[in-house]
Amino acid sequence: PVQPRSEERPGEALYTPGLTTKSAITEDHATKTSGIITGTLFIYGHAVFVLFDTGATHSVISSVFASSVTTTPTLLDHVLCISTPMKDSVRITHVYRDLSLQFDDKIRVINALPLDMYEFDIILGMDWLTKHHATIDCRSYRVIFRDIHAPEFIYHGELPGIPPVHEVKFSIELIPEAEPISKAPYRMALIEL
């Protein structure tokens, strides 16, 4: 565990930044580790690859993906220092508030801190999991949402080894009543040469 440290900001008195730990799990490690739940959800129509991480205290969003979201980040009240398992410390000054995270027909709101990461678009940490009364069933690869104000629903994460389902955006336009095109064979007989 890393202890919070006081730092001096220019023009201000000493302050103690919020300190948290952040997982640095990769997609490859997540698919090979039992009990890790990943999945594809949607934010404003964009598919996002998500990790449900009980080891992360805060939820984070990839800086690359965050740049494609139309919502503008808001300034935090204080600088938040995030410690990674690689002993790095990253300062976070902004948060993306009230992003609509879509589970099929259910919507859950997320506040996410921007972080440079490439394996996942979003990591849902304990702040979000607790707020939404989520229980992770690692054996069945599912997340159960129990809230006294809403009906219970279950999200089935993607099983390891099975590629995520992505929308196919390729189609072939056909012309009505068109005939197949006749082409000569690639090879010609020796007699024809």
pLDDT at residue 186 is higher than 80 = no
Lookup: tokens for 166: 């992505």
pLDDT at residue 76 is higher than 60 = yes
pLDDT at residue 3 is higher than 80 = no
The Cα-based distances of 121 to 59, 145, 193 in angstroms read 11, 21, 59
Q: Does residue 191 sit within a domain?
A: no
Q: What are phi and psi of 131, to 5 degrees?
A: -60, -35
Q: Does residue 177 sit within a domain?
A: no
Please give the pLDDT value at position 1.
Answer: 34
Q: Does residue 69 sit within a domain?
A: yes
> What is the domain-level CATH number for residue 153?
2.40.70.10
Question: Which residues does residue 153 pair with via DSSP β-bridges, in sequence order?
Answer: 145
User: Which domain, by its residues, includes 109?
Assistant: 7-165
Q: Does residue 185 sit within a domain?
A: no
Q: What are phi and psi of 89, to 5 degrees?
A: -130, 125
Please give the pLDDT value at position 100.
Answer: 92
Q: Does residue 18 sit within a domain?
A: yes
Q: Could you give the percent of the chain with pLDDT greater than 90?
A: 25
Average pLDDT value over all residues in the chain? 76
List pLDDT tens digits, range 20-30.
444 445 555 55
Mean pLDDT of 157-172: 61
pTM for this structure? Answer: 0.66
In which band, very low, low, confident or very high, does the pLDDT at 173 lie, cut at 50, 70 and 90? confident
pLDDT at residue 77 is higher than 70 = yes
Q: Does residue 186 sit within a domain?
A: no
pLDDT at residue 33 is higher than 70 = no
Q: Does residue 123 sit within a domain?
A: yes
| Number of domains the chain contains | 1
Mean pLDDT of 160-179: 67
pLDDT at residue 58 is higher than 80 = yes
Please give the pLDDT value at position 68.
Answer: 85
Q: Does residue 102 sit within a domain?
A: yes
